[in-house]
């Protein structure tokens, strides 16, 4: 206790010193105390938001390079809905869309409609809803943290400032900033990831849930928002119930104290329903649809869990199973989090467990479950919600560091430590930004299906010169790129389209679009016809084309100007 | 109280007996002797007989051996045992096993020492309970048993480091008593003479411990300086030997910089900057950053749950199949221990420091995680795990006043521990030699026994070099006269990892067998190859099986 007091005194002395040194500015601020405070308080978060927006919107159309088939498909369906009110299969305003034979909820399509309507169909407009959702998430986390720690509940020890100051404001801005720069969140905000929109809806749901303690009617809106996640993202049937479960466990007591029996009952009824959905979803996924997926056994779950919380995944390599989810030579978190996360966990564990902290811990432990229980590859998407507790905990760590430093008495040391901390954070941020904005477009181009845009343009300009264009068929679903980049008339496509299911069932393909035939062929491929254009990967259309009576039309290169993405050849 | 103390003493003795049984039972014949152990044994033998090691160096600090320049302390520890018990497997291994048992006791003392003055920093009233649990966990630790059963230098260095930490802390407790401080420095320095990795870990530990207790040291700076001076003097011989340069070749061979993939990555990264807004990226993509990240990556791998609890090291020689380096139950106890430590941090600085420092040397090499080089990590881990068990128990005791429920929970604990322990015993004694037949040099002893009987009938004996360094095992089992060997052999040029071998001594030649050629070149010779090297239709005079039932050699008389 004595030690604690001396710390406080020392702390206040240290502050006075700092204050004295800049007394000139202080008088100026004193004159405008009120206005100054308001502007200052809000400018910080506004600055963070601008930062978040820049990181999510800058070059959104070209970084990541190319479009995944899923992105192109969502984009074209948006276009189709906009022009005809029907999706590519001719369904009138569906809720569940069929993408390549896979049935998925499609709220994202409707979110993209206004952007495509006003700005035209492009990579940028398709990705825009997710990017905007990412910026909104930053606002929401700011409000949530304010709400969570409004009574300084986090603070039971020495590491946070005392009552009267505003640690929750500091914490809120800090968390918002950490989310704004979070590699995982930026990656999933820049691209058509339904999971990202679902996360933003979940955050809004959590915010309203917390607000409901003051204004009960928010509770209903909260539930509506949680329910909306199911319409936007298939995996939400795992991830959203987990969040609700964590909320209920943590806030059960306060809930009972605050609300009437009837409301508690209704709420439980809803929660119960959601949990049943979770179980049903799990059973469906593990038995019927997912023949490639099954529930993991105990050892496998442990192994996956460790892999999820490994430094390799979080800091050094990211998702090493599937490159599309990761940033080259970078983990899902900032390198600085290697220090901040353990510190944050220490802060979290050290003091008494409040319901807010319990919520964060439960969220952290349970959110990876959808990725860990099932044995397929979509790890990083399924566990995407974990980014929030991770960022929160990092921010605790950062705040703790700031507080430790602010207690240092000697000004020289103080400045040095702040400088070190500043360099440390900017260094880690620059390393990430470099990896994302400079390296990813080149290094990961092929995982992002780079080359389809270029090949569609190349083929489109000359396809009428040929009787027949043979395009290599694959799981990349090349037809969708032709539809997307040629802005193919949806009505025309709906009339002529014939989808063919693959032999194993599941995936469906389109085999013909005007004079373009999508088909698998093995090299050397003899068409037997004149005036044919053959398009495929450099493996499918080998470099010895001239021996097999073909002439080269052009080659599409990857951004490194070295590897070939596509080769176009015509019959001699 | 007195009675309680007596009970605890009895428990300590029981734990030590358990540790001794696990480390001494069938020590001589299981697992089979490996080439490094044979080198230790034969060099010690050679020193005793001639005053020179196998290559004719007189009383060296580093033993040249396979040109890997092994630090010498363990060799000298083995010396008296070879003197009295002769050159055999047991004599090479018994010092290691005894040191392993001693380490268990030292950990008991260490935990008592750490919390002697700071009982309030624990969730339990009595630090002795924690000391007992920690030493019990070390006694049954797969990681520690593995390297105690054999001539592993690392085990001796871990012992020295542990006792060094113990004495350092005792010295601090006794107002920096010079006696303990000098002793502590002495043991730390002994560890430097024992094992390469200790040369990084021990200085870091001493530095860290000094930082933790900087206030006491400032007050008694004189004593600290004196101890430091004595330490420096003791380091001079080692320093002089290291300056010869040859020793460093080993470090360079396994070091981070041996991994050229990093350089390629730097070039790739710089290339990717071409044509972007930021063309000269040297400030971001350089050796410092990339090797720094590689080091960090390696370092964190040692804390990966997969390594610690599920699969263990990648190298078969360093592990038991189907297991991590620790037990499965340690997951819960270590987690609980860390949580409890976070709640009351005070006295745990030393243990946490050790946990952080322990894998640093291993992380500086290109194979990570590495159970051998990071073996000293097991000490902080068992202490934390023991603390987890105890604090979890006292926590459960608090929230479940109901005796029956508590009893049930403890039964589950005990069942979990014994289940994991029996799994380990099965894996170590039954599965290891069958699953990892090449983890140790099985079969060579049986081979040499046969060759000794029939060898005189042949002019030349050609042996395959498929299994590690066969020459040293031949020397060892033949008890070949060292003076004759020293005069008549030469070391081959070092391979890419910096290792050399002896291709020929006496009538023995070691190389990979190209059967048709050997048959022509060696009339009246004995050709010993692996199953794969000897063609099927050849007339094999003898097949050699290891104790694990695996067929290692086929012998053809020409």
* Terminal-to-terminal C-alpha distance of chain B: 77
On chain A, the residues whose CB falls within 8 A of the CB of B303 are 311
- B150-177 burial string, b = 16+ CB within 10 Å, else e? bbbbbbbbbbbbbbbbbbbbbbbbeebb
How far is the C-alpha of A75 from the C-alpha of A66, rounded, in Å?
13
Query: In angstroms, what separates the C-alpha of A348 from chain B's closest C-alpha?
Result: 9
Alpha helices in B149-277 (DSSP H): 153-173, 178-194, 198-212, 214-219, 221-243, 248-254, 261-272
> Is A58 part of the contact surface with chain B (CB cutoff 8 Å)?
no
The pLDDT value given to residue A155: 44
Rg for chain B, CA atoms, rounded = 26
On chain A, the residues whose CB falls within 8 A of the CB of B356 are none
Contact B305 A305 (CB under 8 A): yes
How far is the C-alpha of B217 from the C-alpha of B181, rounded, in Å?
11
On chain A, the residues whose CB falls within 8 A of the CB of B280 are none
On chain A, the residues whose CB falls within 8 A of the CB of B297 are 311-312, 315-316
Q: Is B254:B499 a contact under the CB 8 Å cutoff? A: no
Mean pLDDT over residues A49-66, rounded? 94
> Computed from CA positions of residues B27, B31, B33, B37, in that sequence, does the dihedral angle turn out positive or negative?
negative
Query: Is the pLDDT higher at A332 or at B344?
Result: A332
On chain A, the residues whose CB falls within 8 A of the CB of B265 are 329
On chain A, the residues whose CB falls within 8 A of the CB of B278 are 434, 438
Mean pLDDT over residues A25-33, rounded? 52
Q: Is B402:B410 a contact under the CB 8 Å cutoff? A: no
Closest chain A residue by Cα to residue B271? A560
How far is the C-alpha of A236 from the C-alpha of B60, rounded, in Å?
68
Q: Is A328:A560 a contact under the CB 8 Å cutoff? A: no
Contact B271 A560 (CB under 8 A): yes
Q: Helix, strand, or coil here: B191?
A: helix
Size of interface A-B (CB pairs under 8 A): 67
Closest chain B residue by Cα to residue A445? B272
How far is the C-alpha of B341 from the C-alpha of B388, rounded, in Å?
9
Closest among A191, A179, A188, A140 to A334, alpha carbons compared: A179
Q: Helix, strand, or coil here: A393?
A: helix
> Is A557 part of the contact surface with chain B (CB cutoff 8 Å)?
no
Closest chain B residue by Cα to residue A306? B305
How far is the C-alpha of A484 from the C-alpha of A482, rounded, in Å?
5
On chain B, the residues whose CB falls within 8 A of the CB of A306 are 304-306, 309-310
> Is B276 part of the contact surface with chain A (CB cutoff 8 Å)?
yes
On chain A, the residues whose CB falls within 8 A of the CB of B304 are 306, 310-312
Q: Is B387:B127 a contact under the CB 8 Å cutoff? A: no
How far is the C-alpha of A128 from the C-alpha of A57, rounded, in Å?
8
pTM comes to 0.90
Q: Is B365:B256 a contact under the CB 8 Å cutoff? A: yes
Contact B306 A442 (CB under 8 A): no
Mean pLDDT over residues A41-58, rounded? 91
Closest among B145, B152, B96, B92 to B473, alpha carbons compared: B92
The pLDDT value given to residue B124: 66
Tokens 């892999």 sit at which residue?
A307
Q: Is B425:B524 a contact under the CB 8 Å cutoff? A: no
According to DSSP, the β-strands at A468-472 and A508-510 are unpaired
A214: pLDDT strictly greater than 90: no
Q: Which long-range contacts (CB under 8 A, 24 or more apart) does B272-275 make?
A: B272/A438, B272/A439, B272/A442, B272/A443, B272/A560, B273/A438
Contact B342 A346 (CB under 8 A): yes
Element (H, E) at A135: helix A123-148
* Terminal-to-terminal C-alpha distance of chain A: 91
On chain A, the residues whose CB falls within 8 A of the CB of B310 are 299, 302-303, 306
According to DSSP, the β-strands at B460-463 and A512-513 are unpaired
Closest chain A residue by Cα to residue B339? A349
> Is A79 part of the contact surface with chain B (CB cutoff 8 Å)?
no
Closest chain B residue by Cα to residue A353? B343
Contacts of A50 (CB under 8 A, 6+ apart): none
Contact A302 B309 (CB under 8 A): yes
Residue pLDDT, tens place only, B373-411 = 999 999 999 999 999 999 898 888 888 888 888 889 889
Q: Is B474:B506 a contact under the CB 8 Å cutoff? A: no
Contact B309 A434 (CB under 8 A): no
Residue pLDDT, tens place only, B423-442 = 999 999 999 999 999 999 99
> Is B304 part of the contact surface with chain A (CB cutoff 8 Å)?
yes
Of B268, B304, B342, nearest to A310 by CB-CB distance is B304
The pLDDT value given to residue B368: 87
Query: In angstroms, what separates the C-alpha of B157 from chain A's closest C-alpha?
Result: 29
Contact B343 A349 (CB under 8 A): yes
For residue A24, what are the CA distances in angstroms to A27, A30, A412, A450?
6, 10, 21, 57
Determine whether B339 is exposed, middle or buried from the number of CB atoms within 10 Å of its CB (0-12, 13-18, 19+): middle
Closest among A61, A160, A227, A226 to A395, alpha carbons compared: A160
Q: How confident is the model at residue A353 (pLDDT cuts 50, 70, 90)?
A: confident
How far is the C-alpha of A409 from the C-alpha of A335, rounded, in Å?
29
Determine whether B511 is exposed, middle or buried from the number of CB atoms within 10 Å of its CB (0-12, 13-18, 19+): middle
Torsion of CA A138, A141, A143, A146, to 10 degrees: -130
Residue pLDDT, tens place only, A481-519 = 999 999 999 999 998 877 887 766 678 888 888 889 998
Q: How confident is the model at residue A33 (pLDDT cuts 50, 70, 90)?
A: low
The pLDDT value given to residue A530: 79
- Phi and psi torsions of A567, nearest 5°: -125, 130
Contact B342 A350 (CB under 8 A): yes
Alpha helices in B244-369 (DSSP H): 248-254, 261-272, 287-301, 305, 330-343, 349-357, 360-363
Q: Helix, strand, or coil here: B505?
A: strand
Closest among B523, B520, B527 to B541, alpha carbons compared: B527
DSSP B52: B
Q: Is B313:B325 a contact under the CB 8 Å cutoff? A: yes
Closest chain A residue by Cα to residue B311? A303
Contact A312 B297 (CB under 8 A): yes
Contact A316 B305 (CB under 8 A): no
Mean pLDDT over residues A379-399, rounded? 92
Alpha helices in A434-519 (DSSP H): 440-443, 452-462, 478-485, 490-496
Consecutive sets of 10 residues in chain B, 558 residues long: mean pLDDT of each?
Answer: 83 97 94 94 96 93 91 96 95 97 97 81 75 96 96 96 97 92 96 95 97 93 94 94 77 80 92 86 92 95 95 92 94 95 88 96 92 96 95 87 86 95 96 93 94 90 91 95 92 83 92 89 89 88 91 90
Of B269, B289, B310, nearest to A302 by CB-CB distance is B310
Of A307, A335, A350, nearest to B306 by CB-CB distance is A307
Contact A434 B343 (CB under 8 A): no
Q: How confident is the model at residue A284 (pLDDT cuts 50, 70, 90)?
A: low
> Is A402 part of the contact surface with chain B (CB cutoff 8 Å)?
no
A290: pLDDT strictly greater than 70: no
| 417-456 in chain A: CB under 8 A from chain B | 430-431, 434, 438-439, 442-443
- Phi and psi torsions of A472, nearest 5°: -60, 120
| 336-355 in chain B: CB under 8 A from chain A | 339, 342-343, 345
Q: Residue A290: left if φ>0, alpha if ψ -120 to 50, beta else—which one?
A: beta
Identify any residues that bridge with A571 across adjacent strands, giving them in sequence order.
Answer: A550
Closest chain A residue by Cα to residue B284? A431
The pLDDT value given to residue B123: 66
Q: Is B502:B490 a contact under the CB 8 Å cutoff? A: yes
Torsion of CA B285, B291, B295, B301, to 10 degrees: 70
A377: pLDDT strictly greater than 70: no
How far is the C-alpha of B160 from the C-alpha of B180, rounded, in Å?
14
Query: In angstroms, what separates the C-alpha of B544 from chain A's closest C-alpha?
Result: 38
Contact A312 B309 (CB under 8 A): no
How far is the C-alpha of B64 from the C-alpha of B492, rounded, in Å?
13
Of A335, A431, A438, nearest to B278 by CB-CB distance is A438
A35: pLDDT strictly greater than 70: no
Reading the block at residue A325, the tokens are 């989810």
Tokens 């809930």 sit at which residue?
A255
Reading the block at residue B374, the tokens are 């990071």
DSSP per residue, B170-181: HHHHTTS-HHHH
On chain B, the residues whose CB falls within 8 A of the CB of A311 are 296-297, 300-301, 303-304
Tokens 């179980």 sit at which residue?
A279
According to DSSP, the β-strands at A516-519 and A468-472 are parallel
How far is the C-alpha of B209 from the C-alpha of B188, rounded, in Å?
12
> Is A306 part of the contact surface with chain B (CB cutoff 8 Å)?
yes
The pLDDT value given to residue A309: 93
Rg for chain A, CA atoms, rounded = 27
Q: Helix, strand, or coil here: A552?
A: strand
Contacts of A120 (CB under 8 A, 6+ apart): none
According to DSSP, the β-strands at B62-63 and B70-71 are antiparallel
How far is the C-alpha of B394 from the C-alpha of B387, rounded, in Å?
11
Interface pTM (ipTM) of the complex? 0.91
The distance of Cα B345 from the centroid of its chain, to the nearest Å, equals 30
Query: In angstroms, what separates the C-alpha of A547 from chain B's closest C-alpha?
Result: 34
Reading the block at residue B183, the tokens are 């002793």
Contacts of A37 (CB under 8 A, 6+ apart): none
Instruction: Calculate what percentage of chain A has a pLDDT beyond 90.
Output: 47
Reading the block at residue A570, the tokens are 């015509």
Closest chain B residue by Cα to residue A434? B284
Of B272, B293, B339, nearest to A438 by CB-CB distance is B272
């Amino acid at each position: 206790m004595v030690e604690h007091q001396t710390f406080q005194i020392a702390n206040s002395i240290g502050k006075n010193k700092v204050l004295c040194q800049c007394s000139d500015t202080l008088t100026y601020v004193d004159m405008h105390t009120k206005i100054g405070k308001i502007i200052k308080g809000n400018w910080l978060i506004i600055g963070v938001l601008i930062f978040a927006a820049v990181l999510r919107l800058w070059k959104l159309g070209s970084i990541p390079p190319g479009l995944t088939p899923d992105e192109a498909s969502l984009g074209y369906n948006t276009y189709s809905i906009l022009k005809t009110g029907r999706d590519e299969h001719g369904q009138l305003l569906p809720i569940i869309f069929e993408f390549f034979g896979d049935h998925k909820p499609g709220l994202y399509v409707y979110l993209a409609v206004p952007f495509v309507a006003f700005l035209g169909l492009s990579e940028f407009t398709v990705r825009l809803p997710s990017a905007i959702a990412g910026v909104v998430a930053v606002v929401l986390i700011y409000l949530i943290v304010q709400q969570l720690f409004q009574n300084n509940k986090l603070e039971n020890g020495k590491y946070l400032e005392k009552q009267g100051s505003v640690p929750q404001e500091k914490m809120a801005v800090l968390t918002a900033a950490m989310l704004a720069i979070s590699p995982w969140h930026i990656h999933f905000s820049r691209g058509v990831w339904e999971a990202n929109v679902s996360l933003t809806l979940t955050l809004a749901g959590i915010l309203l849930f917390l607000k409901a303690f003051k204004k009960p009617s928010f509770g209903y809106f909260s539930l509506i928002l949680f329910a909306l996640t199911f319409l936007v993202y298939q995996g939400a049937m795992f991830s959203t119930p987990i969040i609700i479960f964590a909320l209920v466990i943590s806030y059960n007591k306060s809930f009972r104290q605050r609300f009437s029996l009837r409301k508690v009952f209704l709420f439980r009824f809803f929660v119960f329903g959601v949990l049943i959905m979770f179980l049903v979803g799990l059973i469906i996924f593990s038995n019927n649809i997912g023949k490639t997926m099954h529930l993991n056994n105990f050892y496998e779950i442990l192994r996956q869990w460790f892999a999820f919380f490994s430094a390799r995944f979080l800091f050094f390599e990211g998702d090493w199973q599937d490159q599309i989810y990761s940033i080259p030579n970078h983990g899902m978190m900032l390198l600085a989090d290697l220090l901040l996360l353990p510190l944050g966990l220490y802060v979290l564990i050290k003091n008494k467990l409040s319901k807010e902290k319990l919520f964060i811990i439960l969220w952290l432990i349970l959110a990876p479950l959808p990725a860990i229980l099932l044995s397929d590859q979509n790890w990083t998407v399924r566990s995407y919600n974990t980014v929030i507790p991770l960022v929160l905990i990092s921010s605790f760590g950062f705040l703790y560091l700031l507080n430790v430093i602010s207690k240092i008495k000697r000004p020289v040391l103080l400045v040095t430590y702040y400088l070190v901390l500043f360099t440390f954070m900017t260094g880690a941020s620059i390393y990430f930004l470099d990896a994302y904005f400079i390296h990813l477009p080149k290094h990961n181009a092929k995982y992002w299906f780079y080359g389809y845009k270029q090949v569609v343009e190349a083929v489109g300009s000359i396809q009428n010169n040929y009787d027949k264009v043979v395009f290599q068929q694959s799981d990349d679903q090349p037809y969708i790129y032709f539809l997307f980049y040629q802005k193919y008339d949806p009505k025309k496509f709906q009339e002529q389209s014939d989808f063919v299911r693959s032999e194993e069932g599941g995936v469906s393909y389109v085999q013909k679009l005007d004079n373009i035939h999508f088909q698998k062929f093995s090299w050397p491929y003899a068409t037997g016809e004149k005036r044919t254009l053959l398009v495929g990967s450099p493996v499918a259309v080998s470099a010895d084309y001239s021996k097999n009576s073909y002439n080269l039309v052009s080659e599409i290169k990857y951004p490194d100007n070295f590897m070939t993405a596509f080769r176009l050849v015509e019959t001699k | 109280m007195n009675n309680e103390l007596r009970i605890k003493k009895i428990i300590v003795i029981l734990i030590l007996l358990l540790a001794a049984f696990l480390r001494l039972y069938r020590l001589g014949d299981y697992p089979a002797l490996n080439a490094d152990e044979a080198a230790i044994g034969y060099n010690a033998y050679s020193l005793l007989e001639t005053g020179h090691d196998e290559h004719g160096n007189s009383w060296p600090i580093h033993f040249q051996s396979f040109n890997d320049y092994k630090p010498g302390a363990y060799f000298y520890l083995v010396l008296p045992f070879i003197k009295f018990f002769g050159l055999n497997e047991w004599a090479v291994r018994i010092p290691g096993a005894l040191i392993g048992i001693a380490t268990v006791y030292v950990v008991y003392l260490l935990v008592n020492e750490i919390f002697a003055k700071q009982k309030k920093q624990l969730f339990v009233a009595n630090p002795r309970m924690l000391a007992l649990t920690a030493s019990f966990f070390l006694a049954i630790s797969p990681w520690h048993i593995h390297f105690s059963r054999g001539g592993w230098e690392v085990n001796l260095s871990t012992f020295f480091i542990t006792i060094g930490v113990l004495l350092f802390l005792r010295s601090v407790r006794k107002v920096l008593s010079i006696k303990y401080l000098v002793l502590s420095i002495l043991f730390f320095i002994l560890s430097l003479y024992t094992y390469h990795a200790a040369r990084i870990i021990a200085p870091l530990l001493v530095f860290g411990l000094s930082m933790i207790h900087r206030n006491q040291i400032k007050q008694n700076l004189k004593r600290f300086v004196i101890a430091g001076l004595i330490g420096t003097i003791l380091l001079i011989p080692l320093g002089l030997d290291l300056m010869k340069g040859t020793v460093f070749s080993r470090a360079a061979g396994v070091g981070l910089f041996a991994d050229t993939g990093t350089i390629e990555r730097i070039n790739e990264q710089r290339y990717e900057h071409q044509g972007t807004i930021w063309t000269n990226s040297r400030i971001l993509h350089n050796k410092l950053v990339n090797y720094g990240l590689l080091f960090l990556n390696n370092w964190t791998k040692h804390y990966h749950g997969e390594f610690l609890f599920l699969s263990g090291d990648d190298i078969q020689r360093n592990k038991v199949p189907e297991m991590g380096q620790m037990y499965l139950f340690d997951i819960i106890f270590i987690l609980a221990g860390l949580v409890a430590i976070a709640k009351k941090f005070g006295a745990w600085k030393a243990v946490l420091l050790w946990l952080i420092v322990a894998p640093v040397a291993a992380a500086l090499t290109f194979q990570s995680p590495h159970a051998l080089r990071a073996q000293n990590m097991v000490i902080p881990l068992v202490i934390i795990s023991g603390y987890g068990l105890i604090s979890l128990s006292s926590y459960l005791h608090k929230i479940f006043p109901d005796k029956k429920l508590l009893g049930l929970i403890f039964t589950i604990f005990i069942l979990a521990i014994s289940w994991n322990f029996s799994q380990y015993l099965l894996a170590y004694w039954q599965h290891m030699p069958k699953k990892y037949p090449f983890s140790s040099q099985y079969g060579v002893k049986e081979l040499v026994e046969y060759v000794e009987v029939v060898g005189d009938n042949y002019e030349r004996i050609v042996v395959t070099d498929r299994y590690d360094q066969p020459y040293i095992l031949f020397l060892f089992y033949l008890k070949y006269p060292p003076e004759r060997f020293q005069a008549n052999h030469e070391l081959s040029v070092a391979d890419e990892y910096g290792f050399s071998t002896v291709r020929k001594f006496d009538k023995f030649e070691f190389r990979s067998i190209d059967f048709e050629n050997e048959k022509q070149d060696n009339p009246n010779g004995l050709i010993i190859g692996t199953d794969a090297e000897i063609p099927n239709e050849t007339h094999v005079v003898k097949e050699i099986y290891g104790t694990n039932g695996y067929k290692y050699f086929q012998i053809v008389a020409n």
